[in-house]
Amino acid sequence: MKHINIVIENIHILFSKLKFLSTHTDPKWYPARQSLQLDPKGKCLRDEDILQTLPVGTTASFYFSDLGPQVTWGTVFLTECAGPLIIYLMFYFRLPFIYSPKYDFTSSKHWVVHLACMCHSFHYIKRILETLFVHRISHGTMPLRNIFKNCGYYWCSAAWMAYYINHPLYTPPSYGQQQVNTALYIFLFCQLGNFSIHVALRNLKAQGAKVKKIPYPTKNPFTWIFALVSCPNYTYELGSWIGFSVMTQCVPVAFFTAVGFIQMTVWARGKHRSYLKEFRDYPTLRSSILPFIL
């Protein structure tokens, strides 16, 4: 971490401009790789922050640190989603070297196995399309090392689930078609709800805008849950995986759902705290991810 002293002549200077100027000193430090802080252990300053709004005098001391090689969030999301989609299909079509040779390129006799493949593929194709055409990501990049961690988790989880669901010895759910149908309705309902929330969040912020707004329910009934939850996209995501778990009655899927719920709860609670801190008029009735519970 480097210490930088700056004499303030223009109090309206943006930190994005400071990053741009430092890039000329050493091209290796491109803006996305730089972090500027007022304190060595303080919060990173945002590109849109203005010196006028910070507690500094005529001379400002900043601490510069290298965030390491960066990769765009869009690239991360696409890689995360493409991997599970392809890996699951490899198990579904029972490519060689996965199961016993006598099962190579065979098809399961159970309808729920084919339905599970369609649902799993639909989920990740939906996520890919949302990444390309719906999401407006505020943070442009993330450390390159994170792509290996994230992809390792999603890819390995997809392989673990697919191995058991598509296994030749797989048995259908205990309550048969009724259980499968109920789970399918839950899955599709929550997938549509998740998509509706993503569209609502996209419409909340114009392209390139940095100003945050409070999300409220719209005319779309799937967004009415905003009245009770700060992050309903995670609520619907959880519901989708619960439906998939019930449909397949598979332990690896249930484990993936439980771990995902823990992680999404962490994200949702952080977002909820951010809303409460940023907006004084934020609705107090809302919970982070589960209405009235969490």
Final residue belonging to a domain, choices 141, 172, 203 = 172
Residues 159 and 191 in one domain: no
Residues 187 and 279 in one domain: yes
| Positive or negative: CA dihedral 212, 124, 190, 253 | negative
Final residue belonging to a domain, choices 172, 192, 223 = 172
How much is the pLDDT for 250? 96
Residue 290: inside a domain: yes
Q: Which domain holds residue 238?
A: 174-294
Residue 44: inside a domain: no
Residues 102 and 167 in one domain: yes
Residues 107 and 205 in one domain: no
Residue 251: inside a domain: yes
Q: Sort 110 into a burial class: Cβ within 10 Å, 0-12 / 13-18 / 19+.
A: middle
Residues 167 and 194 in one domain: no
Distance CA 106, CA 47 (A): 54
Residue 193: inside a domain: yes
Residues 144 and 256 in one domain: no
Residue 46: inside a domain: no
Q: Give 10-residue mean pLDDT values along the chain (294 residues).
A: 45 45 53 61 59 59 66 82 96 95 95 98 96 77 81 95 97 95 98 96 74 90 97 97 98 97 97 92 94 92
Residue 89: inside a domain: yes
Whether the CB-CB separation of 243 and 183 falls below 8 Å is answered with yes
Q: Give the residue from 260, 281, 285, 71 showing the smallest Cα distance to 154.
A: 260
Residues 146 and 228 in one domain: no
How much is the pLDDT for 260? 96
How much is the pLDDT for 38? 62
Residue 281: inside a domain: yes
Final residue belonging to a domain, choices 114, 140, 172 = 172
What does the chain come to in residues?
A: 294
Residue 3: inside a domain: no
Q: Which residues contact 133 (CB under 8 A, 6 or more apart)?
A: none
Quote the pTM value. 0.82
Residues 90 and 159 in one domain: yes
The count of domains in the chain is: 2
**Torsion angles phi and psi, residue 7, rounded to 5:** -85, 120
Residues 142 and 197 in one domain: no
How much is the pLDDT for 152? 93
